[in-house]
Structure 1
């Protein structure tokens, strides 16, 4: 697994999505992490220091795995860039077909009238 800086990670994630357009999937996971061992975290707690948690993001296409760590200060900027990439590469998703609200409301009214009778 390769730990990249946020911008190269986004570039590599884009290329992963482009490679998987015809066939395949890309899995992305986000997790809170302090990137310190448990012993170091316990020492920091006893010393009274605050632990800065980071967001660990991993992406894999089944063959290649990349990851990055984003701090709280950079999280908003990273999330905006990440959302742009997702919107650009999720063209295969189909819109959900919904019933008309009017028809659904009429169906609910007729059910209630049948129950009352």
Structure 2
């Protein structure tokens, strides 16, 4: 597994989104990882050493897979950049126009007032 630095990873992710805009999909996975084997983790825990957990990010589009690892210090900057990329690429999710609630409730009141009430016999 080849790990990219954050900026090249974000650039490649942007190009993956551009290529799959007409057809295809991009899968992004984030998970907590130490980037070490289970055996090494067990040895470090037994020795009482602290284990630094990082965020492992993988993006897959078709046969192409890229990955990066983010530490706790860089996570805020990465999250902001990642959010900007997602907002720019989600053009299919357009905001619908909302009707004013006052107008719709006034129309309902007018409609209910104009109907005659049944007479009691």
Q: For this structure pair, what is the TM-score category when the shorter chain's length is used for normalisation?
A: 0.7 to 0.9
Partner of 1:7: 7
Partner of 2:28: 28
* Per-residue Cα deviation, 1:44-79 (whole angstroms, up to 9, x for no partner): 111111110000000011220000010111111111
- Partner Cα distance (1:43, 1:63) in 2: 36
Runs of at least 4 residues off by over 6 Å: 96-103
Gaps of 5+ in 2: 105-121
Aligned length: 105
- Displacement of 1:100 in angstroms is 7.8
- Displacement of 1:101 in angstroms is 7.0
Gaps of 5+ in 1: 104-117
Partner of 1:42: 42
- Partner Cα distance (1:40, 1:9) in 2: 27
* Per-residue Cα deviation, 1:5-43 (whole angstroms, up to 9, x for no partner): 111000000000111111111110100001011111111
Distance 1:31 1:101, change over 3 A: farther
Distance 1:42 1:91, change over 3 A: same
Output the TM-score relative to the length of structure 2.
0.76
Distance 1:61 1:45, change over 3 A: same
Q: How does 1:25-104 map to 2 (within 5 A)?
A: 25-95=25-95
Contact 1:31 1:57 in 2 (8 A): yes
Contact 1:2 1:65 in 2 (8 A): no
Q: Which structure has the greater CA radius of gyration?
A: 2
